Each structure stands twice: as C-alpha cells, then as structure tokens.
Amino acid sequence: MAITKGAKKAHRASLKKQVFNVRRKRSMKDATKKVEKTLTGADLALAYKAIDKAAKRGVIKKNTASRKKSRLARLLAKETTKK
C-alpha cells in the first residue's frame, strides 16, 4: 500500500484513469462484436471509430488498432464475396 502522500494521490488518480480505460476498451469490444455478428458497413465505421479512440487514448497500441481494423475489414470483405 502507498505510504507517502504523493503515492496515495497517484494511486487515486490511477484508479480514476482505470475506469475510463475499461469503459473505452469495453465500447471497442462491443462494437467489434457487433460487426462480427451483423457484418454491415455502418457498424464497421462505428467499430473503426471506437478502435481509433482507444488507440488515441493509449488503451491499446497503434499497431494493435491497425491489426484489429484490418481483420474486421477482411472479415467483412470475405462475407460480402460469399453473398
């Protein structure tokens, strides 16, 4: 446990930031799953937006965001060629 005043304050700040990061990651996962389920272009745009926001805020890394978007686009393209 934190001993100094500054360490206690830093711990409180990290707990507040954790809430935002978890919320951002959850919205990204929800949007991704929605795309995988419905396979529509409109949902893909929302998923891209959520992934980009997570990468911008540092919740996920830039290359991870790029990989996730690429996989979603590839999945959507694969499904549209089947139809």
- Walk along the chain (83 residues) and give the pLDDT tens digit of each residue: 678 999 999 999 999 999 999 999 999 999 999 999 998 888 999 999 999 999 999 999 999 999 999 999 999 999 888 86
pLDDT at 3: 87
In this prediction, residue 80 carries a pLDDT of 83
Kindly state whether residue 1 falls inside one of the protein's structural domains: no
Query: Sign of the C-alpha dihedral, residues 16, 17, 22, 28?
Result: positive
Host domain of residue 58? 28-83
Whether 34 maps to a domain, the answer reads yes
Total domains, the chain: 1
Establish if 5 belongs to a structural domain: no
Within-domain flag for 15: no
pLDDT of residue 82: 80
pLDDT confidence of residue 83: 67
The pTM assigned to this predicted structure is 0.85
Sign of CA dihedral 66, 69, 72, 74: negative
pLDDT of residue 41: 84
